Structure 1
Amino acid sequence: MNYVIVIFLVLLAGTFAGLTLALFSLNLTELERKIRIGNKEAEKVYTIRKKGNLLLCTLLLGNVASYTSMAVFLGSITGGVVAGITATALIFIFGEILPQAVFPRFALYIGARTSWLVKIFMVLFYPVAAPIAWILDKILGEELPVIWSKKELKEIIKYHEDSIKSPIDKDEEKIVLGALSFSDKRVRDVMIPAMEVYQISAVSLINERLLQEIKDKDFSRIPVYFQRHDNIIGVLLVKNLIGVDSTKRLMVQDLQTEQVIRVNINKKLDDLFNMFINQRMQIALVYNSRKQYVGIVTLEDILEEILRTEIEELA
């Protein structure tokens, strides 16, 4: 009978050791995230894991009590060197190595199916474990949530995309990485320099030559300047040219132009993106710190930065 008790105590001690490593490998942030997506196993584990210090005291107390009891029973069967070697072998293999190798690999699965057993021991050991846990709570405070930085999130996404078991594909990785990066970038990183901007004079005649030139450029919006190239007075919507009679000698300034947003070259892209959305605009003029016109930036430029791919100009 003593042998059966010894084996039972070794297995019990191993269970406590394995559960300690397994349950504390699951942080509360991860469990809460899994609960929000409907994981029932996470719900069961969370009920015991949220009381971190009480859980820790319970499992360690159960582990120590099991080993102590095993030593007592083993000593009644045999003694001396044999008892020491036997106890060491049993503890090493079945009490530590096997449970700590197996339990963490299936932490959520095992934790969910043994939560009822842990709750029983939490009640049994409560008179001893609770005061120690209370002291730890007061000294250490609540368990801190796990918050990943942007760099860490990027590495997580890259790792998942590289794994054959992950549903994340290359395009999704590219978009997510772009979304995480674009708020750190500024207008100067994506703007089109003034020397490369196609713009037309407000006093240009709308004739066949100009219409063909605009058609060849294939832009939906064109900055309009007056007298000087850096004096932008508005943006011509190319769709307003539809139906215009080129023989009436109209000038660009005779057509309705869209107002423009003026932004600093150091403005963050996420702020500009919100400005575009709120004002229902798609193009902004860029100025440096000396208030000199240096180029333009469009909604398309920002979207390309997020999607990390070239897209056709938005109509």
Structure 2
Amino acid sequence: MSFVLIIFLVALSGIFSGLTLGFFSLNKDDLKRKAELGDKQAQKVYAIRENGNLLLCTLLIGNVAVNSTLSIFLGSLTSGFAAGLIATALIVIFGEIVPQASFSRHALVLGAKLSGLVKLFIIILLPICWPIAWTLNKMLGEEIPTVYSRKEIIKLVEHQEDLFQSEIDADEEKIVKGALSFSNRKVKDVMTPKEKMYCISSTQKLTQDIVKKIYATGHSRIPIYDKSPNKIIGMLYVKDLVGQAVGRKNAGQIARQNAFLVNEDRSLDDVLNAFKAKRNHLFIVTNSKPEVTGIITIEDILEEIIGGEIVDEFDELKIHKA
């Protein structure tokens, strides 16, 4: 009978010790997120972990009570020194090391399985623990939530993608990383520079050779300037050339007067919002003087997000013809 009681007390000590480490090694915000996503184990554990100070008091007071009872009981069976030595060995090995090693690896699973037992301990020790927990809540306040920086989230996604069990694939990782990092980049980092722009004068006659050159660029929109490339006045939509009498009109007569300007130092997320607000796909990029320094399209920004090239309908046409 005495041996059974010793085993029971050591096991109970191990449960208290393991649960203390296990429950508080689980991030409260992570548990809440998993619980909201329908994880049954997380729901059971979060219901207990939510009131951290009450849980902590319950587990610690329960552990101290069990360990003290074990020492007193062993003392009644043998000499004081022997009882202390045996109690210390049992508590350290089977009441601390072994259970904490187990709970640290399987905290969520074991915590969920023992959640009913923990609730029972909370009810039993509530008259003692609730005043202490209430005092701690008033003195220390709520637990500080976990806030991740962009770089930390990117690292987390990279780590998750590398795991065999992960649901995240390489393409999803690339998109998430692009979405989180593109706002730190500026227009001038991704724009097509002025030297690579293809634009034509508003007075340029749309001869057969000019139309062929326009189609050959593969662009769906061509900037139109007045006198100087630094004075963009509109956009020629290549699709508007269909059905036009070649050579009878100049570019300015067909161009749409919707050339929007954007400063090269604006952030990409700001410009993406501007694209959505203006319902336009191409902006003329200028510097502070202001001089035209290039063009940026919504495709340029989306390519930064997805980490790959987007082929529009004209690019596709060129590929099929090649």
TM-score (ref. length: structure 1) = 0.96
1:291 partner letter: P
Q: Residue 314 of structure 1: CA displacement? A: 6.0
| 1:205 alignment partner, SS class | coil
The answer for the alignment partner of 1:209 in structure 2 is 209
| 1:295 alignment partner, SS class | strand
Question: Contact 1:5–1:73 (CA<8 Å) still a contact in 2?
Answer: no
1:202 partner letter: S
Alignment partner of 1:67 is 2:39: no
Question: Contact 2:234–2:255 (CA<8 Å) still a contact in 1?
Answer: no
Give aligned pairs, total. 314
Q: Residue 178 of structure 1: CA displacement? A: 0.4
Question: Contact 2:262–2:285 (CA<8 Å) still a contact in 1?
Answer: yes
Q: Output aligned runs, 1:167-206, within 5 Å.
A: 167-206=167-206
2:123 and 2:166 map into 1 onto residues whose CA distance is 40
Question: Contact 1:2–1:74 (CA<8 Å) still a contact in 2?
Answer: no
The answer for the alignment partner of 1:123 in structure 2 is 123
Structure 1 gap ranges (5+): none
Question: Contact 2:201–2:251 (CA<8 Å) still a contact in 1?
Answer: yes
The answer for the alignment partner of 2:84 in structure 1 is 84
The answer for the alignment partner of 1:286 in structure 2 is 285
Question: Contact 2:31–2:42 (CA<8 Å) still a contact in 1?
Answer: yes
The answer for the alignment partner of 1:36 in structure 2 is 36
Q: Output aligned runs, 1:46-65, within 5 Å.
A: 46-65=46-65
Residue range with higher mean Cα deviation, 166-175 or 176-185: 166-175
1:213 partner letter: K
2:296 and 2:180 map into 1 onto residues whose CA distance is 20
The answer for the alignment partner of 2:297 in structure 1 is 298
| 1:65 alignment partner, SS class | helix
Q: Output aligned runs, 1:183-262, within 5 Å.
A: 183-247=183-247, 249-262=248-261
- Give per-residue Cα distances to partners, 1:38-95, cap 9 Å, x unaligned: 1111111111111100000000000000000000111111113322221122111110
Q: Residue 204 of structure 1: CA displacement? A: 0.8
1:29 and 1:57 map into 2 onto residues whose CA distance is 21
The answer for the alignment partner of 1:266 in structure 2 is 265
1:29 and 1:267 map into 2 onto residues whose CA distance is 35
Question: Contact 1:285–1:297 (CA<8 Å) still a contact in 2?
Answer: yes
Question: Contact 2:234–2:258 (CA<8 Å) still a contact in 1?
Answer: yes
Q: Residue 258 of structure 1: CA displacement? A: 4.6
2:256 and 2:105 map into 1 onto residues whose CA distance is 64
1:299 and 1:260 map into 2 onto residues whose CA distance is 14
Runs of 4+ in 1 over 2 A off after TM superposition: none
| 2:223 alignment partner, SS class | strand
2:220 and 2:79 map into 1 onto residues whose CA distance is 92
The answer for the alignment partner of 1:96 in structure 2 is 96
The answer for the alignment partner of 1:308 in structure 2 is 307
TM-score (ref. length: structure 2) = 0.94
Question: Over aligned residue pairs, what C-alpha RMSD do you find?
Answer: 1.3
- Give per-residue Cα distances to partners, 1:243-296, cap 9 Å, x unaligned: 11215x211111141502211111111111111112210111111122222111
Structure 2 gap ranges (5+): 315-322
2:226 partner letter: F
Alignment partner of 1:154 is 2:154: yes
1:231 and 1:314 map into 2 onto residues whose CA distance is 28
1:164 and 1:44 map into 2 onto residues whose CA distance is 27
Question: Contact 2:224–2:255 (CA<8 Å) still a contact in 1?
Answer: no
1:211 and 1:259 map into 2 onto residues whose CA distance is 21
Residue range with higher mean Cα deviation, 163-172 or 119-128: 163-172
The answer for the alignment partner of 2:317 in structure 1 is none
2:134 partner letter: W
| 1:296 alignment partner, SS class | strand
Q: What is the percentage of aligned positions where both structures have the same residue? A: 48
Q: Residue 128 of structure 1: CA displacement? A: 1.3
- Give per-residue Cα distances to partners, 1:193-215, cap 9 Å, x unaligned: 11211101111111110111011
Question: Contact 1:265–1:288 (CA<8 Å) still a contact in 2?
Answer: yes
